[in-house]
Chain A
Amino acid sequence: MVVGVLALQGSFNEHIAALKRLGVKGVEVRKPEQLLNVSSLIIPGGESTTMAKLAELHNLFPALREFVQMGKPVWGTCAGLIFLANKATGQKTGGQELVGGLDCTVHRNFFGSQIQSFETELPIPQVVAKEGGPPCFRAVFIRAPAILDVGPDVEVLADIPVSAIAIQKEEDSTESGKKVIVAVKQGNLLATAFHPELTADTRWHSYFLKMVPEIEVGASAIISTSTTTQSFGGRPIIDFPIYQ
């Protein structure tokens, strides 16, 4: 089974490292044709504006939309969540192109700037039911988006009370008991506003892998050289310390 990781910009190395820990090969996807070789796709965290720009320049959006419509599993973390959403608010002037498919409204940089980034112990009952482990997950939110509302087909996997974080946003200071959604699943689409790839806990990754039908093993033996797990010059990819 080969999982593609959209490698335009952002934390794609971290995702590949996390997959490696689960014994799954992750390949970097940079061009539309490389999508044909993967059974599922992770859209990593990063700057969604940057990633959208690059995807636009290399004509990736039609291929990505097709990939989503084919019902292949796709997981977006943070910037990837913004990509998958049907509607995004708080965008840059002029907006940005989205892949869409996930029936929800996402607010970019919901929690504010980097100084409001935080981590929290997040209860994830549905994932725990499948994957076991402790009831909470160490979720790292970095300039994170949040899901404001979801359509009827969308299953909410995790939410956090807004009051848990000191939000310095003028317009949102009203209801303190309000919750925002931070992880959802809709059919074969998974999306999280936080970064499971930054922690040692691989439950989200294995949860995602179980969404991939167990076929096509070895179907993608031929992948262009730029997508091997070795980076240029044969230097093995070494990745960051993972926060336990």
Chain B
Amino acid sequence: MAGSGVVTVYGNGALTETTKQSPFSVKVGLAQMLRGGVIMDVVNAEQARIAEEAGACAVMALERVPADIRAQGGVARMSDPQLIKEIKRAVTIPVMAKARIGHFVEAQILEAIGIDYVDESEVLTLADDENHINKHNFRIPFVCGCRNLGEALRRIREGAAMIRTKGEAGTGNIIEAVRHVRSVMGDIRVLRNMDDDEVFTFAKKIQAPYDLVMQTKQLGRLPVVHFAAGGVATPADAALMMQLGCDGVFVGSGIFKSGDPAKRGRAIVQAVTHYSDPQLLAEISCGIGEAMVGINLDDKVERCAGDMSVLFVPIYGGEFGFVDQIYNQFSTVKMSARCVNFLYPGYASLHARRLLTGLEQWHVANLCRNDFVA
């Protein structure tokens, strides 16, 4: 394998190359075939067929789309293998499925079903808040999320053959996806012009393996395929992601939470192909029905009116104080919000993340009764 893969495997044993099957080049290869395409989240075989008809280059099987996970709360897990098998039978395009972060047994099950790609996804509930799956142990390729260059390179070192920027799943709001794509691309641009002597410190700063940092510098891009995800709801959103330099997009709730999924799906597929052609984009954006309503997470604490009573608490990195404050309020004041949703723990530091996990459990315990006004 010397010199043949992107990830040079350290030591013996991390990757068993007993067969010629699925070395890293083959794993990355499939992702390269997906470039310039749209990967759509589907929850059943019927949606999978709609996605295939719309021109999706792959479908992602999961039990609920991110918008529903967000709205309903609870623990989100790998989908039922039976359902995945049905979806696999229904379409000829590659089928991906999500596994919880760190849940390598879910990944083993998905590999056994013969899925084409596993998404180790932060949209599902975390199974391990410290470790990700050692993806070198698998013959199937993995796609992982990232918010910045350091995180992307750490995932690649763990064996991810494809990277997607996280954005904010299930909101229909593109702002976080833009932020993350800009962050990754910006860091790469900085890296490209960096003095070689400074790369060691840069690698330390972004907490990424030095050799992958160096490889990224030489290539001027991530060494694996890089898709955008989270909040893509319109053809314009998809084209924006492509113009920012992504290789393709994932669309989750954006399609099947909209008025006319088939039409919108087709429009987004076309937008990704013709991303640099404003005239065509204008044409395909016309009359494609209602977009998903989405959620604006801009307000720090937003509470929907009426008996919906959905409370969103976005927690941005570094704001421990705010997290503590919310936490305290929750512990002391009971509230009427039937459902409390948090931004995915991505933003929060590990410290905050632990609090969040506690809170989520608390929320599952359904203690939400009294009045709580933020």
Contacts and interface: CB of A to CB of B under 8 A. Distances in A.
Contacts of B273: 7-9, 30, 54
B30 interface: yes
Contacts of B93: 47, 49-50, 92
A57 B272 CA distance: 14
B16 interface: no
Contact of A53 (B26, B54, B88, B274): B54
B33 interface: yes
A141 B30 CA distance: 9
Given A9-B35, A143-B94, A240-B223, A47 B111 contact: no
A134 to B, nearest CB: 15
Interface stretch (B73-81, B113-121, B287-295, B331-339): B113-121
Contacts of B193: none
A10 B33 contact: yes
Interface residues of B, number: 60
B57 A238 contact: no
Contact of A11 (B25, B33, B269): B33
B154 interface: no
A243 B20 contact: no
B34 to A, nearest CB: 7
| 6 nearest A-B pairs in the assembled complex, by CB-CB distance | A53-B55, A114-B116, A232-B276, A47-B57, A238-B220, A92-B92
A32 interface: no
Given A50-B57, A114-B94, A238-B220, A198 B32 contact: yes
A143 B5 CA distance: 19
Contact of B53 (A53, A90, A240): A53
B282 interface: no
Given A114-B94, A115-B22, A118-B26, 15 more contacts: A9-B36, A12-B36, A46-B33, A47-B93, A53-B53, A92-B92, A113-B88, A113-B95, A141-B26, A143-B30, A195-B33, A226-B274, A232-B242, A240-B28, A243-B4
A46 B26 contact: no
Contacts of A149: none
Interface of B is mostly: loop
B219 A238 contact: yes
Interface string B49-75: 100111111100000000000000000
Given A10-B37, A114-B140, A47 B58 contact: yes
Interface string B11-38: 0000000011111011011101111110
B286 to A, nearest CB: 14
A244 interface: yes
Interface in A187-218: 195, 198
A93 interface: yes
Contacts of B56: 50
B29 A198 contact: yes
B321 interface: no
Contact of A113 (B114, B269, B272): B114
A239 B32 CA distance: 11
B57 A243 contact: no
A19 B114 CA distance: 35
B270 A54 contact: yes
B105 to A, nearest CB: 17
A1 interface: no
B108 to A, nearest CB: 12
Nearest to A142: B29
Contacts of B266: 53, 57
7 contacts: A12-B36, A30-B277, A47-B57, A50-B56, A92-B92, A239-B219, A243-B4
Interface in A35-82: 45-47, 49-50, 53-54, 57, 78-79
Contacts of B94: 47, 113-114, 143
Interface of A: 7-14, 30, 45-47, 49-50, 53-54, 57, 78-79, 90-93, 108-109, 112-120, 140-143, 166, 195, 198, 226, 231-233, 235, 238-241, 243-244
Most chain A CB within 10 A, of B56, B219, B273, is at: B273
B269 A243 contact: no
Contact of B35 (A11, A78, A119, A231): A11
Nearest to A90: B92
Contacts of B57: 9-10, 46-47, 50
B26 A140 contact: yes
Interface string B197-231: 00000000000000000010001110100000000
B139 interface: yes
Nearest to B221: A238
Contacts of B55: 49-50, 53-54, 57
A241 B245 contact: no
A113 B89 CA distance: 11
Contacts of B245: 231, 235
A226 B276 contact: yes
Nearest to A165: B21
A3 B240 CA distance: 28
